[in-house]
Structure 1
Amino acid sequence: MATETRSREMRPSPEAPTPEDREFSFSSDDYAFLRAMLKEKSGIELGPTKQNMVYARLAKRLRKLGFKSFHQYIEFIGTPAGVDELGTTLNALTTNLTKFFRENHHFEHLGTAALQEIRGRAASQGRRLRIWSAGCSSGEEPYSIAITLLRAMPDIKQWDARILATDIDTEMVRRGNEGVYPATALEGMEPDIARKYFEPHGTDKVRLAAEARNLISFKHLNLIGNWPMKGPFDAIFCRNVVIYFDKDTQRVLFDRYANLLVPGGFLYIGHSENLFGITERFKLLGRNIHRKIA
């Protein structure tokens, strides 16, 4: 649909060949079709200058499948035989930029002020805690949430605590569920966190400890599609995701988030995002942390 978060920030792509040097023909009509398809299927809008990026990301698929042009590829993904390839196309066109504890002030707030309020509601609502990482990418954001809860809640085993992690990219969901990362992902992390919540896994890799993995359910979800979950959630993380949606889509999305949050629940969004002119159902608490008010 953005860790810390899925963030779905568009990274620079490897330089693509000029139209004259391209292996596959790729017309402006082909690009317009793929832009429209991505918008329809995921809500993500590609700018008019991303044609080289799209070519670079999909050329390998054309090569593997034996197509001679993007027109042939587009025709294929529109057939029943190309349904699975359509999912691969969407995965290729959505970028995942993420790391553990990105925008760490959000996790600090969750582990202090937010949990204090959630604990205060426990007497009337039972020891139930639900957090949603919407656009979880390869899992660094929900695992950062899990570690935050484990550190701040020594009594967490006495709670019904769960984290839902969703993403439109099926490969990211698979990787997040696996919980395996290169050892370099721990660079810059507090040593005590790295020691306690990560374990060696093969050569130059680490895996999240079972106590963190067991808190999270990874699911494939398109944010502009149907949502099977009922909530309510105490907090929702949706960071660096909606910058790729138009304003109308953002209005619908944040209204749906508000509907799934408990009264006073928290919404965490990315550093380049804001709710001004989008919704009046949240109050800004500071540093892209919002509280549901309606």
Structure 2
Amino acid sequence: MPEPAKKTVSAFSKKPKTQEAEEGSSVTFEAETEKSEAKVKWQCNSKDIASGNKYAITAIGNKHSLTIRNITEEDANVYAVIAGGSKVKFELRVVTKPEDPAEAPVGEPGDVKPDQTSVPHPAASTQGGTSATTQDVNPAEGAHPPDTRQDLTGLFTEKPQSGEVTVGENITFVARVNAESLLKKPSVKWFKGKWMDLASKCGKHLQLKETYDRNTKVYTFEMHIIAAKANFAGGYRCEVSSKDKFDSCNFDLIVHEARAPEGLDIRAAFRRT
């Protein structure tokens, strides 16, 4: 008879468990290994995590921990801790913090955030080329909240600027990062409204592109909006990070309704001759 399969022994004597946390708070996951000299690494969505402004990783003897700071909805992911041949998965579930109306900031409709301009940038001009947009994004999501992370490092050499477009036309937003002094390739995320990650919305109306110039060591990140719809209007945000460095920029998109050609009388087209 065949021998029964041997049961794999876990490298962990204590495993992290799934937790819930409120937006804006911090949470710590703890693990213990059987051996004190074991090398441990943490992952988020199968990608390695390093200590920085967002994450704090500690290792004392056989005790290991991962702390996630300033939690947002985008932190609700599947995480994992790995030691040797053992991998333990767990989740962070984010609970939306109820907004207190008494604490809500009061502002005029015309207020402009410090890192925004109302003048369209040349890079945010209407084009006939590839562009991008979200698939039927709901404008009722409201304006994006300011980023809660501190010590922004000014990674952008060029920030995406607010722009205007007419329904059915294309527009491109551009961000550039000089990677000459960076230890790790920068990664960029584009958001609309309250934390809607646009990476999952790429398709007919939205394309995200990335290019790298080896001579200047500059990364160019583009968000192409194609055949804009009225509900694409609203607040957007671009975030860039590289290891423990982080920067973000808010910008707006205004979508104008298409106008009928001047002098065209629609009623005349249906009038009997």
Same fold by TM-score, threshold 0.5 exceeded? Answer: no
Pick the structure with greater CA Rg.
2
Query: What TM-score range do you get, normalising by the shorter chain?
Result: under 0.3
More strand by share: 2
Normalising by structure 1, we get a TM-score of 0.26
Structure number with the bigger relative contact order (C-alpha 8 A, sep ≥ 6) is 1
Instruction: Report the TM-score when normalising by structure 2.
Output: 0.27
